[in-house]
Amino acid sequence: METITFVKSKMNSFLALAFSVLMSVFTFAQDTAGGVVTTENKTTTTTEWYADPMYLIGGAILLIIIIALIARSGRRE
C-alpha cells in the first residue's frame, strides 16, 4: 500500500513538471514580432489601452484588493 502511495506521489510531481515545461515551451513559441500595436496618423500616435502600464498597475492593485477581501470574508464565522 505504501508503494502505491509513493508511486502516485511521484507521478503527480512528474505530471506537474511536464505540464510546466510544456506551458513554457508554448509560451516561448509565441510570435513576438507584433510588439505594441500603434497607429500613426500624420502627427498623432495612439497606443492601445492594454499596452499602457497605468492600466496594468491599476488592474493589479484592484486584483490584490479583491483577493484580500475574499480571504478576509472567508475567516468570518
Domain shared by 44 and 75, yes or no = yes
DSSP state of 34: S
Q: Domain containing 55: what range? A: 38-77
Can you tell me whether residue 77 is helix, strand or coil? coil
Determine the pLDDT at residue 38: 64
Determine the pLDDT at residue 76: 59
What phi and psi, each to the nearest 5 degrees, are found at residue 4? Answer: -65, -45
Is the per-residue pLDDT at 52 higher than 60? yes
What is the model's pTM? Answer: 0.37
Domain shared by 71 and 47, yes or no = yes
Number of domains in the chain: 2
Domain shared by 4 and 23, yes or no = yes
Domain shared by 54 and 20, yes or no = no
Domain shared by 74 and 46, yes or no = yes
Determine the pLDDT at residue 44: 63
Is the per-residue pLDDT at 3 higher than 90? no
Is the per-residue pLDDT at 73 higher than 70? yes
Domain shared by 25 and 54, yes or no = no
Alpha-carbon separation of residue 14 from 8, 17, 29, 37 (angstroms): 10, 5, 22, 39
Can you tell me whether residue 62 is helix, strand or coil? helix
